[in-house]
Amino acid sequence: MQNNEETLDELENRLAQLRRALRLAMVERDAARVAQLRQQLHRAESLWEDKAAAEQPVSAADASDASAPAPVSPDAPVSEPALAALLPTREQVHQTLSLLEVPAAPKLITAVHEAFFPGELPASRLASLRRDEERSYRSAPNARPYYLCPALTADRLAPARALLTVSTWPLERRIMGAHSPRVDFLTTATKIASALISYSQLGPRWTPDAQTRAERLLRSFAVSIPGALGPPTLAGHVPALDPDQVGDAAKAELSVHLEVDRRQRSEAATWARDRLSEAERLFGNRLASVRNSASAD
């Protein structure tokens, strides 16, 4: 999927491509694909309209998609989803990761984004993100305020499968030890629980749909945390969801693992600082033969 930094020419090319693909899908009577392409075409068209309008007064047309994520203001003249659609994918991911503050897989990023932020962020758009970020870094190191990087495995500091992090995070947080999946899972639960509590005070600006999605997401975490859900009220009925209770239960289990995990992560981080270049610290050590001295013996 393309991001929103493409020029008008590129957009026009894409529009032509999409129309061709749409016609083909219609000939093949592939209804699902037709619907999907129509949606994409529609998005691209409105993006083209916006861009074309923005280019007219010549001035800072590109400023809107440059750096920091534009805060979504409720008074903005454009509707929230339209504004969010203008946010590049990397900004959307950054926004989501900043809420979670732990390494997250595309599926989780999409789910959290759907629940707490306006606009769409399909997981398919995240597929090429890691590669694009690395390419961008390598062509002009540190030109951007942050990069989206993989998490690193503690044993060989290699890029961990699927997990995304932000380059500005402390290295310890970006490293995955043996206990880290559980610690990050519990941390995520606390973050979602507290986001749910604070967002529910937003009132009508947080759509009921999004709230339902957020509650469903939190419940999917709560079922795997001891004491996070109350006892079932009636036989066969699902127990009630209380974000406070989920947060507390997650913190209680977190206190059991935190120390072990912190030790493993900081050991690996120290090792990484000693041994790896900056690029390797960000995007992982690709030489599989380099091994942790601890695991080698």
Binds another protein (CB under 8 A): choice among 41, 72, 105, 210: 105
Supply the minimum distance, in Å, between the C-beta of residue 158 and another protein: 4
Strands across the sheet with 175-176, in order? 159-166, 148-153, 175-176
Q: Which is nearer to another protein, 87 or 97 (CB)?
A: 97
Q: Is residue 253 within the footprint of another protein (CB under 8 A)? A: yes
Question: In terms of CB distance, is 84 or 225 closer to another protein?
Answer: 225
Transcribe 48-71 into DSSP letters.
HHHHHHHHTT-TTSGGGGSSSPPP
Q: Does 256 bind another protein (CB under 8 A)?
A: yes
- One-letter amino acid of 103: P
Q: How far apart are CA 101 and CA 262, in angstroms?
A: 15
SS3 content of the chain, % helix, strand, coil (to 5): 60, 5, 35
One residue of 264, 268, 276, 283 binding another protein per CB under 8 A: 264
CA distance 122 to 40: 12
Q: How far apart are CA 194 and CA 196, in angstroms?
A: 5
In the complex, what is the shortest distance from the CB of residue 224 to another protein, in angstroms, rounded to a whole number? 4
Q: Is position 161 an interface residue for another protein (rule: CB under 8 A)?
A: yes
Count the residues of the shown chain that bind another protein, applying the rule CB under 8 A. Answer: 31
Told to check if 262 binds another protein by CB under 8 A, we report no
Q: Which stretch binds another protein (CB under 8 A): 4-12, 70-78, 209-217, 221-229?
A: 221-229
Q: Which residue's CB is nearer to another protein, number 156 or number 251?
A: 156
Q: For residues 271 and 157, is the Cβ–Cβ distance under 8 A?
A: yes
Closest by CA position to 25, among listed 17, 16, 34 = 34
Binding interface with another protein (CB under 8 A): 105, 107-108, 153, 156, 158-161, 178-182, 184-185, 188, 221, 223-226, 253, 256-257, 264, 285-288, 295
